[in-house]
Amino acid sequence: MTVTIETVLGWRDIATVAEGADLSLAPAVWERVEQASRIVDSIVESGVRAYGVNTGVGALSDTVVDRQSQSRLSRNIILSHACGVGERLAPREVRAIIAAQIANFSHGHSGVRTDVIRHLSTFLEKDCIPDVPSKGSAGYLTHNAHNALVLIGEGTAQVAGKRMSGSQALAAIGLSPLVLGAKEGLSLVNGTACATGLSSIALARAERLLDWADAIAALTLEAAGCQMAAFNEEVLALKVSKGMATVGASLRKRLAGSGIVAAALGKRTQDALSLRSVPHAHGAARDVFDNSARAVDQELASVSDNPAVSGTPQHPVVSSEAHAVSPALGLAADSLAISLAQISAISERRMDRLVNPLVSGLPAFLASDAGSNSGLMIAQYTAAALSNENRRLAAPASTDSGLTSALQEDFLAHPTAAANKLLAVIDNAEYILAIELMAAAQAHDFLDGTAPRAAGTDAIYQAVRGRIAHYADDRPLAGDMEAMRSLLRDTTPPAA
Is residue 496 included in any domain, yes or no? no
Domain match, 351 and 403 both: yes
Is residue 382 included in any domain, yes or no? yes
Query: pLDDT tens track of the chain, all 496 residues?
Result: 999 999 999 999 999 999 999 999 999 999 999 999 999 988 887 777 766 677 755 555 566 555 666 678 889 889 999 999 999 999 999 999 999 999 999 999 999 999 999 999 999 999 999 999 998 877 678 999 999 999 999 999 999 989 999 999 999 999 999 999 888 999 999 999 999 999 999 999 999 999 999 999 999 999 999 999 999 999 999 999 999 999 999 999 999 999 999 999 999 999 999 999 999 999 999 999 999 999 999 999 999 988 899 999 999 888 888 888 889 999 999 999 999 999 999 999 999 999 999 999 999 999 988 788 999 999 999 999 999 999 999 999 888 766 666 656 666 778 999 999 999 999 999 999 999 999 999 999 999 989 999 999 999 999 999 999 999 999 999 999 999 999 999 999 999 8
The residue from 190, 219, 252 where one domain ends is: 190
Q: Note down the domain range covering 105.
A: 2-190
Is residue 456 included in any domain, yes or no? yes
Q: Which of 31, 14, 43 is nearest to 307 (CA)?
A: 43
Domain match, 386 and 435 both: yes
CATH of the domain at 77: 1.10.275.10
Residue-level pLDDT at 45:
78
**pLDDT tens for each residue of 250-286:** 999 999 999 999 999 999 999 999 999 999 999 999 9
Is residue 137 included in any domain, yes or no? yes
Q: For 462, how many CA atoms within 13 A lie in the half-sphere containing its CB?
A: 10
Domain match, 204 and 126 both: no
Domain match, 126 and 212 both: no
The residue from 128, 163, 190 where one domain ends is: 190
The residue from 144, 159, 190 where one domain ends is: 190
Cβ 256 vs Cβ 213: under 8 Å: no
Domain match, 160 and 203 both: no
Question: What pTM value is reported for the model?
Answer: 0.95
Domain match, 178 and 215 both: no
Torsion sign across C-alpha atoms 184, 188, 190, 196 = positive
Domain match, 319 and 354 both: yes
Domain match, 227 and 350 both: yes
Domain match, 212 and 317 both: yes
Cβ 103 vs Cβ 192: under 8 Å: no
Domain match, 323 and 262 both: yes
- How many angstroms separate the CA atoms of 485 and 241, rounded? 29
Residue 492, CA distances (Å) to 216, 481, 487, 495 in order = 12, 17, 8, 9
Residue-level pLDDT at 66:
58
Is residue 495 included in any domain, yes or no? no
Domain match, 49 and 136 both: yes
Domain match, 179 and 160 both: yes
Is residue 77 included in any domain, yes or no? yes
Q: What is the largest CA-CA distance in the chain?
A: 84
How many domains, in total, are found in the chain? Answer: 2
Is residue 82 included in any domain, yes or no? yes
